[in-house]
Amino acid sequence: MTKTLYLMRHGETLFNQQKKIQGWCDSPLTEKGIKQAQIAGDYFKDRNIIFDSAYASTSERASDTLEQVTDKPYQRVKGLKEWNFGRFESESESLNPPLPYGDYFAGYGGEEEFQFRQRVSEALMDIMKEAGETVLAVSHGAACRQFMRNWAHTSEIDQKDRLGNCCILKFEFEQDTFKLIEIINHDFSSLD
Q: Tell me which residues are annotated as active site.
A: 10, 82
Amino acid at 130: E
* Rg of the chain on CA atoms, in Å: 16
Q: How far apart are CA 163 and CA 185, in angstroms?
A: 7
Amino acid at 126: D
Q: How far apart are CA 10 and CA 19, in angstroms?
A: 15
- Contact at 8 Å (CB) between 116 and 144? no
Q: Within its chain, how far is the Cα of 190 from the centroid?
A: 23
